[in-house]
Amino acid sequence: MNDRNTKFRESIGHKLKEYRLKNFLSIDDIVYMSEISKSSVLKAEKGTAKDIDLYVEYAKAVQYPLATLTDFNIPLIPINTLPKERLEAVNLTAKIREHIVNSRFLKAGKVVAEIKEELLRLKLIPKETTSQAVAGVMRNLKEDGLVATADKKGRKEVYLKYNE
């Protein structure tokens, strides 16, 4: 974790301690209810614990509604933004999921070339999009359990919608 997260952990720890005191609970009560060690409870209250599970279990013990963790205005900005080529892959994945996977297009099974042709026909991708890029997305979708493969056509994978 980086230093900018320290203030968020400290704020959460302070809020958890506040809830503990408001509910007239001792540190030993939290230890008993959460099965977190006393030293870890103290670290969570100080905001020095780095294990999110400690904060979650503590929050459950004091009945602190986790949805209110947004009270801390933690910016939802990752440490590193995706590079342009990864953003393009995310965009391609979105188009394939929306127009190929979430349709009946894969019902009979399709190879990458057919998927690419359909995306071009729908004018969803530029002609420069490579079959390799489409194949990479399809492999990821298979890994995620959203599509399956059937018998091959030659050396080429035939993709089907997983639940078809």
Q: Which residues of 89-123 are buried (b: 16+ CB within 10 A; e: fewer)?
A: beebbebbbebbbeeebbeebbbbebbbebbeeee
Residue 23 confidence (pLDDT):
87
- Report the CATH number of the 84-161 domain: 1.10.10.10
What are the residue ranges spanned by the domains of the chain? 3-72, 84-161
Residue 152 confidence (pLDDT):
87
Residue 95 confidence (pLDDT):
94
Report field, pTM of the whole predicted structure over 0.75: no
Fold classified for 3-72 = 434 Repressor (Amino-terminal Domain) (1.10.260)
Model confidence over 11-21: pLDDT tens digits? Answer: 899 999 999 99
End-to-end CA distance of the chain: 43
DSSP tag of 153: B
Residue 1 confidence (pLDDT):
47
The stretches in the chain having pLDDT less than 50 are 1, 164
Residue 99 confidence (pLDDT):
93
